Chains A and B, each alone.
Chain A
Amino acid sequence: MTGKVRHVKGFIDTDVLTEAKRRMHHIYDVFDTVLVAFSGGKDSLVCLHLALSIAKDRGDNNPVKVVFRDEELIPDSVVQFVNEYRQRDDIDLRWYCVPLESNKYVLGVSSRYVQWDPARPHVRPMPPWAITSESLGLPLEWVADQYSMDSLATKDEKGKVAIITGVRAAESLMRFRALTAKLSENYISNVDKRIATVKPIFDWHENDVFRYFYDEGITYCRTYDAQLFAREPLRVSTPLHAERAKRLDNLRAYEPTFYDQVMTVFPEMAVQERYWSELDHEAMQERYGGSYDGVQAWIEDTLADETQRGKALKELGSIRKRALHSPEAFPPDYVLGQMMNGAYKRTITAIDRKQQAARRERVS
């Protein structure tokens, strides 16, 4: 025994739906205001319908408050889907189209762009009902980040505010770790004294989500059927992010009109689409993947954007420190691969013991 502990799943004798409803009641008990962060995607759609049903159970006849942060780069199928919810009487949906920091990914290099940037043409027009910087009386050059977006969405709300999101642990190892970091009320994270984000369906699987729609007769956004046939992971997110951008060619197959809209405004993405699969990963690995200094050279050679470079260097610094204790957990070639995938914007996780053993075997 080393005395070390780790956090794992402790199953309880209830199904995920019953437990999610219990969590929602708890949220309504503890917070003064509940806001659902809706994206049009399947996970936040579950949260929205859970909120509708819990509010009804509690005899609350006020419309459920919903925030939709329009990311500009979304297909019309999603826009129409969200708009149907906007028009419902039992929902009070605030549709934000404000400049927001984001990243696009072209051939291994991630660079900054601003959603709804007033300085360039937009992928699609802002809908007339949108809340904009102009309607909020904010300066033209104002650009939001996630935190300022949360404050903006909650500024007129009373008391303690819960922002419900559809984040699930099964989505990635990063999310699993974030959702198991805290042992008590793991699904509630305080943003500040007044605002918390809440993840009532954190333990759901994708099939639980669709089972819920199936049982409740809820129609999901039709982009998921198109993604299914195109053998694409089921997601509603902008196509310029690292993971999606790698499969940009597939966008032609599941959202052909949207593909055209994106390419008109971001023609550089065509370069990504045509050559990503051909990018010489092996040569890059040979040149930069031998040591942490090599990885640093890659960062300095390829990341032109200062903020991006700063983030990557900071992450590498932290990896250098962590590697002192467990060198096998962060092989330089793995770190380079992660950096090339844009993972430096988050925290690069260690490779697990099984993979470490497999690597030892390969070397010997």
Chain B
Amino acid sequence: MQPLEVRPGDPIDNIQWIPADTLEANNWNPNRVHLAELRLLERSVLSTGWLQPLLVNPERLIIDGFHRWRLSQDSKAINQRWKGRVPVAVLDVDRPTAMLMTIRINRAKGTHVAVEMSAIVRQLIDEFGVERSVIAKEIGGTKEEVELLAQEGVFAAKNIAKWAYSQAWYPKQEAVS
């Protein structure tokens, strides 16, 4: 396979559309995207189109974007719509550098912070009137998760206003039969 052309400037400066099946999977990728997340990713690509290219080296080895690449072949809808092609940005690095970059990029992606997640969900519901079921679908969550995030805090989530104090007790002896 012909090596991809490396042009001057940042990789993002020139994006090429190439057939997905000419790329080599980075089978060392330690990042696991679970089925539910893969479906969410598919939904995202289909609804917005490609937002960012895959990152590959001149030998067509995937550095970042493995799961989007897999979708471009496994998802019939994505495969048909882009005729089996994917956008790539090319970075001139060797294999070990590519491997390290894969880990670094995945690790650098961070985590969603619970309190902020709750604030966003409440804003979507209260200010923009978005249905809870729609939020669940769009963020790839369950309805139960959205319900929890929509709560204002422990009192509401536990329905404390309706809780009556428990009955007090002391230890007592009981015969074991």
Contact = CB atoms under 8 A, between A and B. Distances in A.
Interface in A189-240: 203-208, 210-211, 213-214, 220, 224-231, 234
B167 to A, nearest CB: 5
B154 A229 contact: no
Contacts of B118: 225, 229
Nearest to B174: A8
B165 A211 contact: yes
A19 B111 contact: no
Interface stretch (B12-20, B46-54, B85-93, B156-164): B156-164
B171 interface: yes
Nearest to B30: A274
Nearest to A210: B160
Given A210-B155, A214-B160, A180 B115 contact: no
Interface string B81-113: 000000000000000000000000000001111
B166 interface: yes
B69 to A, nearest CB: 24
A10 B114 contact: no
B114 A14 contact: no
B66 to A, nearest CB: 19
Contacts of A14: 167-168
Interface string A1-41: 11111111111111111111000000000000000000000
Interface residues of A, number: 51
A230 B114 contact: yes
A183 B154 contact: no
Main secondary structure of the interface of B (DSSP, over half): mixed
B27 interface: no
Interface string A94-133: 0000000000000000000000000000000000000000
Given A4-B175, A252-B111, A254-B115, A204 B170 contact: no
Contact of A4 (B111, B113, B149, B176): B176
A186 B173 CA distance: 13
A228 B176 contact: no
A214 B171 CA distance: 28
Contacts of A82: none
B154 A225 contact: yes
A12 B165 CA distance: 13
Nearest to B117: A229
Contacts of B169: 9-12, 203
Contacts of A205: 166
Nearest to B167: A11
B163 to A, nearest CB: 5
Contacts of B149: 229
A3 B176 CA distance: 7
A207 to B, nearest CB: 5
A253 interface: yes
A224 B167 CA distance: 25
A66 interface: no
3 closest cross-chain pairs (CB), A and B: A10-B172, A19-B168, A180-B171
7 contacts: A4-B175, A7-B173, A18-B168, A181-B171, A208-B165, A211-B165, A213-B155
Given A205-B166, A228-B151, 16 more contacts: A2-B176, A4-B175, A5-B175, A9-B171, A15-B165, A181-B171, A203-B166, A208-B163, A214-B160, A220-B154, A225-B154, A229-B149, A234-B154, A252-B110, A253-B113, A256-B113
